[in-house]
């Protein structure tokens, strides 16, 4: 997507549907960060030692920092951040309830794979919005500084006991299915997001074939993450 001029962005935000889509996108990402913060804090209780507990708590803290940035942007757009987040709480809470880890390693795989899928989905949608908001979203979604910790722990566990690899690979596939289903629901249940993907305000959108390619890209990135964790199949 080419860079948009300030004038073009002004035209975009003059369209109520476009503004609603951006508010929805920021709202769902912000609530996702809150849910991730709560989950990581809870998963830290499963940590086998203090060092791992601190590492997961640090990841949780980063999620909360992201929420503040997204909240500020929502306020700049004249939206109430909490009203923007509220419509997504039920769906995201349901996802986390259905994918609650039963042990430390499942929690790590979820933090790496599940969150990665959600972040890829939101990054795909962000390609259709104004430059300033897109850069904020991409910055908020960047969790690369914490990735190596998870990869090291999971690979070490598999090296120590190869039998854990099979169940974790199945867990990764379940997370993928749940995450993709949730992503489709979020887009389908919110008209403004659906319209954004379809195009508007002189912005290109996605037809059914393009949507299919997007979900193929999400699947391919998931496979790469599984490979990085030593769970390729």
Which tens digit of pLDDT belongs to each residue from 64-96? Answer: 888 888 999 999 999 999 999 999 998 888 888
pLDDT at residue 1, as a whole number = 42
CATH class of 6-228: mainly alpha
Mean pLDDT of the chain: 84
6-20, 91-105, 217-231: least confident range: 6-20
- The pLDDT tens digits for 137-167 are 888 877 545 678 899 999 999 999 999 999 9
pLDDT value at 213 more than 90: no
Closest C-alpha among 178, 28, 26 to residue 88: 28
Sole residue written with tokens 């309830």: 97
In this predicted structure, the answer to whether residue 21 has a pLDDT above a threshold of 70 is yes
Rounded Cα distance, 58 and 41, in Å? 9
Instruction: Tell me if 66 sits within 8 A of 28, measured CB to CB.
Output: no
Is 7's pLDDT higher than 50? no
pLDDT tens readout for residues 110-126: 988 888 888 888 888 88
Helix axes 89-98, 16-43, angle to 10 degrees: 30
Helix (H) or strand (E) holding 139: helix 131-141
- pLDDT per residue over 168-201, tens digit each? 999 999 999 888 888 777 777 887 777 777 665 4
Tell me what pLDDT residue 11 has.
54
Instruction: Give the residue extent of every domain in the chain.
Output: 6-228
Q: How confident is the model at residue 50 (pLDDT cuts 50, 70, 90)?
A: very high
pLDDT at 81: 96
pTM of the model: 0.84
In whole angstroms, what is the distance from residue 168 CA to residue 171 CA? 5
Residues with Cβ within 8 Å of residue 55, at least 6 apart in sequence: 47, 146, 149
């Amino acid at each position: 997507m080419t860079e948009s001029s300030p004038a073009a962005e002004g035209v975009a935000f003059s369209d109520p549907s476009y503004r609603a889509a951006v508010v929805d996108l920021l709202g769902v990402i912000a609530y996702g960060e809150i849910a991730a913060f709560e989950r990581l804090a809870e998963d830290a209780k499963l940590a086998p030692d203090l060092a791992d507990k601190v590492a997961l708590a640090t990841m949780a803290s980063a999620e909360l920092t992201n929420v503040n940035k997204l909240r500020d942007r929502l306020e700049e757009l004249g939206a109430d951040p909490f009203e923007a987040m509220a419509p997504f709480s039920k769906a995201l809470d349901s996802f986390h309830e259905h994918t609650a880890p039963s042990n430390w390693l499942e929690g790590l795989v979820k933090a790496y794979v599940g969150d990665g899928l959600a972040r890829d989905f939101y990054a795909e949608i962000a390609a259709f919005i104004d430059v300033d908001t897109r850069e904020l979203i991409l910055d908020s979604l960047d969790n690369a500084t914490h990735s190596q910790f998870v990869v090291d722990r999971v690979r070490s566990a598999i090296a120590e006991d190869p039998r854990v690899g099979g169940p974790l690979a199945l867990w990764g596939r379940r997370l993928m299915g749940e995450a993709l289903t949730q992503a489709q629901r979020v887009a389908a249940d919110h008209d403004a997001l659906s319209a954004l993907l379809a195009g508007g305000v002189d912005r290109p959108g996605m037809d059914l074939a393009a949507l299919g390619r997007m979900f193929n890209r999400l699947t391919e990135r998931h496979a790469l993450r599984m490979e990085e964790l030593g769970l390729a199949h």
